[in-house]
Amino acid sequence: MSLQLENVTLKVRGETYIDEANLQLDSGSFNVLLGHTLAGKTTLMRLMAGLDTPSRGRVWLGGRDMTDVPVRQRNVSMVYQQFINYPTLTVFDNIASPLKQAKVARAEIQRRVEETAHMLGIDHLLGRYPQALSGGQQQRTAMARALVKDADLVLFDEPLVNLDYKLRESLRVEMRKLFASRDTVAVYATTEPAEALALGGTTVLLKEGRIVQSGPSGEVYRQPCNMEAASLFGEPPINLLAAEIAGGECRIGRQRLPLPAAWQHLEEGHYRLGVRPHHVSLAPLATGETLCLPVQVRVAEIGGSETFLHMTHDEIDLVAHLGGIHELAVDQALEIHLPCAEMFVFEPDGELLLSPAFPATAACA
């Protein structure tokens, strides 16, 4: 099963909400829509589901043009961040409702409801009513109702955001297993890059209704096609530094640094360097070439067993994601070490020039 969008555009009163979306999303794994709030994720999913009709372009599902097919005639399920359950039905009957509408045999309904409820950890709640459940339990009931149906397309609009961390982790694993063996296209919207990587499959980067890049999740992360994609797929976002290569040196602000061997072939000129926060080190690195920069501490955010260190270098904001607890004073001066082997080099217009990743197939839009 596959879902295809061909030049799908949505305009309302002259304002563009989705701009020329071209995608092919397949069954067998999760397809993740990743972007900030108001990036267009929910709008794009509504177009996929048939809740909205594109201003132009076509939507295909399983080789059939579904663009003008009413939503009631589509085999689609959707789970929203804000759960919706029938208050007068038990959890069992809430989950079973689409199967009863499809006139599935009673024994099969029993089996599928119990199996899905067990996967989501709510099998002990099947006799209760929604008002007797916690928010997380109600959300899992709504998810179960979508999962129990053998839909051609299942759309998840940030469904796990209100659940606790451990439950979210376990549900991601279970859902990956479930859709690996189903001929169902699963599309999952999130604002969290870590969630996109955890779900695997394909990631589609969205910004202001426009597809920036799409491809296998790991490849999009390791080889973003431009600075925009690199910034979207990372939390905290990638650090970007303006640099000039001239006279055998790499010049960053007032710093004059030896030109790394891997960059010797680059023409003299201006570039942008990118390094992800978890590759920034406070201590000199034992191996490989590094760039060393003086910085001034703005704030150190300590959370559990990690520290997010916010710094400035020549008025450029930088972030380091450090393991362990680092208690550093505001305005403290120190040096950071950036491994050249983990750095991206972008053209002045933002296009990727060099990447630490292996060759990839992820595509820019």
pTM: 0.88
Q: Is the pLDDT of residue 309 over 50?
A: yes
Q: Name the one residue in this structure whose structure tokens are 């003299």.
A: 268
How much is the average pLDDT of 255-270? 90
Contacts (Cβ under 8 Å, ≥6 apart) of 134: none
- The reported pLDDT for the residue numbered 357 is 55
Q: pLDDT tens across 88-126, in order?
A: 999 999 999 999 999 999 999 999 999 999 988 899 999
Residue closest to 51 by CA, chosen among 182, 155, 146, 138? 155
How much is the average pLDDT of 315-325? 94
Q: pLDDT tens across 9-54, in order?
A: 999 999 999 999 999 999 988 999 999 999 999 999 999 999 999 9
Tokens of 74: 């589509």
How much is the average pLDDT of 134-151? 89
- The reported pLDDT for the residue numbered 64 is 96
Q: Which residue has the higher pLDDT, 200 or 347?
A: 347
How much is the average pLDDT of 244-260? 90
Q: Which residue ranges form the domains of the chain, and what is each CATH number?
A: 2-232 (3.40.50.300), 239-364 (2.40.50.140)
Distance from the Cα of residue 354 to its chain's centroid: 23
Q: Is the pLDDT of residue 358 over 80?
A: no
Range picked from 1-5, 137-141, 159-163, 181-185 for highest mean pLDDT: 1-5
Q: pLDDT tens across 43-92, in order?
A: 999 999 999 999 999 999 999 999 999 998 999 999 888 788 999 999 99
- The reported pLDDT for the residue numbered 165 is 84
- The reported pLDDT for the residue numbered 23 is 97
Rounded distance between C-alpha atoms, residue 171 and residue 188, angstroms = 13
Check: CB of residue 204 under 8 Å from CB of residue 31. yes
Label residue 359 by pLDDT band (50, 70, 90).
very low
- The reported pLDDT for the residue numbered 186 is 95
Q: Label each residue of 120-186 as H, E or C.
A: CCCHHHCCCCHHHCCHHHHHHHHHHHHHHCCCCEEEEECCCCCCCHHHHHHHHHHHHHHHHCCCCEE
- The reported pLDDT for the residue numbered 136 is 83
Q: What percentage of the chain exceeds 90 in pLDDT?
A: 74
Contacts (Cβ under 8 Å, ≥6 apart) of 51: 71
Check: CB of residue 216 under 8 Å from CB of residue 361. yes
Residue closest to 20 by CA, chosen among 59, 51, 57, 46? 57
Residue closest to 146 by CA, chosen among 17, 25, 45? 45
> Does residue 91 sit in helix, strand or coil?
helix
Q: Name the one residue in this structure whose structure tokens are 């969630």.
A: 195
> Does residue 304 sit in helix, strand or coil?
coil
Check: CB of residue 125 under 8 Å from CB of residue 95. no
How much is the average pLDDT of 330-340? 94
> Does residue 36 sit in helix, strand or coil?
coil
- The reported pLDDT for the residue numbered 362 is 55
Instruction: Using alpha carbons, list the distances in angstroms from residue 252 to 72, 259, 340, 344.
Output: 58, 11, 14, 15
Averaged pLDDT score across all residues of the chain: 92
- The reported pLDDT for the residue numbered 298 is 96
Please report which residue ranges of the chain form alpha helices under DSSP H.
41-49, 91-101, 106-119, 135-148, 165-180, 193-199, 217-222, 227-232
Check: CB of residue 159 under 8 Å from CB of residue 139. yes
Q: Is the pLDDT of residue 363 over 80?
A: no
What is the CB neighbour count within 10 angstroms for residue 31? 25
Q: Is the pLDDT of residue 132 over 90?
A: yes
| Beta strand pairing call for 249-252 and 255-258 | antiparallel
Contacts (Cβ under 8 Å, ≥6 apart) of 12: none
Check: CB of residue 92 under 8 Å from CB of residue 46. no
Q: In this structure, what DSSP letter does residue 107 have?
A: H
Q: pLDDT tens across 209-247, in order?
A: 999 999 999 999 999 999 999 999 999 999 999 999 999
Terminus-to-terminus CA distance in the chain, angstroms?
23
